[in-house]
Amino acid sequence: MEIEELTVGYGWVGRPVVTAVRGVNLAIDAGEVVGIAGESGCGKTTLALAATGLLDPPGRILSGSARYQGTDLVSLSPQERRALRLSEISMVFQASMNVLNPVMRIRDQFLDGMAAHGVRSSEEARARAEETFDLVKIPRRFFDAHPHQLSGGMRQRAVIALALVLRPKLLFLDEPTTALDVVVQRSILQSLNDLRRELGFGVVFITHDLSLLVEIADRIAIMYAGAIVEEAAARELYKKPCHPYTRALMSSFPPLGGTRRQLEGISGQPPDMRRLPAGCSFSPRCPEVIAGTCEIIDPPSIRVDGGHVVVCHLYSEKEARVG
């Protein structure tokens, strides 16, 4: 999937629009795990909704494209988009308990989903569903259960199974494990990774938990105020974070070992998306702000090296000095 200059806003036609995602470029290769991290309200979820065509009014895509294997999802009709969903692109949300219908057996929810995509024979559907249950390690006896009979972790596994039952090639995961205990979270992530190996789907993993993302993603994009401010390979980003926001976000996660020292995290609050500051939107909170530049001129996108891109004035200055 390739997302280009995608801009998404909320607001009814004719009313002022609040832009939630601003000109995002992001490419997801087949079988790759791309992580998106940022504070609440930075536009992570809106980006995922827009890219999967699940954005409901008043949300709307203002410009840009999200191309999946060459087809622009933005220009497709709702019917065409629906045909792609689940079978090609799937999504798992944070609150799995609200995704499953509480008065329907899990079995029926699976059969429904598959019937909508042309799997008419119920034997075939059942076989497929059971196979997927085995893959995500849910005992088959839960197949005929109602959602409330499953623990939170099992429900989340069931939702993942549902998302994968038609073997999509791309899976969006929006904070899929945030509400779960660490041990459950880790075993779900383990299963997801095993599945990804086996089935070869690509993953867009959205979370605020940067320390988790460094472990599981191939590449990480950091979002702030609706825009990607830094993008790099996971290890590279962890070892050499360039954007001051990335550094601040990282220091918000205390380490599990080593010498304990006071961490400062990020001071201030995320900006009001209705009144974004001029220039770099992080400049009011930035500890390394260049007075007279950052709060006036939009920061340029700088390729630090290879696939490591940062949107910050600090690096244009350095580069100018070097060059």
Shortest gap between Cβ of 212 and other proteins (angstroms)? 4
- Shorter beta-carbon distance to other proteins: residue 198 or 264: 264
Of 81 and 285, the one with the shorter C-beta distance to other proteins is 285
Shortest reach from residue 32's CB to other proteins, in Å? 12
User: Rounded to the nearest whole angstrom, what is the least distance from the CB of residue 158 to other proteins in the complex?
Assistant: 15
CB-nearer residue toward other proteins: 252 or 293: 252
Q: Residue 32, class by beta-carbon neighbours within 10 Å (0-12 exposed, 13-18 middle, 19+ buried)?
A: middle
CB of 208 to other proteins, least distance (A): 5
**Structural contact between residues 54 and 90, judged by C-beta atoms closer than 8 angstroms:** no
Query: For residues 213 and 38, what is the distance between their CA atoms, to the nearest angstrom?
Result: 11
Q: How far is the CB of 152 from other proteins (least distance, A)?
A: 8
DSSP assignment string, 152-221:
HHHHHHHHHHHHHTT--SEEEEESTTTTS-HHHHHHHHHHHHHHHHHH--EEEEEES-HHHHHHH-SEEE
Minimum CB separation of residue 150 from other proteins in Å reads 11
Q: Which C-beta is closer to other proteins: that of 74 or that of 234?
A: 234
The angle formed by the CA atoms of residues 294, 300 and 304, to the nearest 5 degrees, is 115
Residue ranges in contact with other proteins by CB under 8 A: 39-40, 151, 153, 181-187, 190, 193, 208-212, 214-216, 238, 248-249, 251-260, 262-266, 269-270
Give the C-alpha separation, 282 to 89, whole Å.
33
When the beta carbons of 211 and 293 are compared against other proteins, the nearer one is 211
Query: Residue 242: CA atoms inside 13 Å, Cβ hemisphere, count?
Result: 26
Q: How are strands ordered across the β-sheet holding 170-174?
A: 89-92, 170-174, 202-207, 33-37, 219-224, 227-233, 308-311, 301-305
Nearer to other proteins, 118 or 257 (CB): 257
Closest contact distance (angstroms) between CB of 267 and other proteins is 8
User: Is the CB of 144 or the CB of 181 nearer to other proteins?
Assistant: 181
Nearer to other proteins, 97 or 297 (CB): 97
Cα gap 219→203, rounded to integer Å: 11
Smallest distance, other proteins to C-beta of residue 191, A: 10
Residue 278 CA to residue 223 CA, distance in Å, equals: 17
What Å distances lie between residue 303 and 38, 146, 199, 289, CA to CA? 21, 51, 33, 20
The answer to whether residues 238 and 213 touch, using CB atoms and an 8 Å cutoff, is no
Q: Which two tokens stand for residue 89?
A: 């692109």
Joined together, the tokens standing for residue 164 give: 């994968």
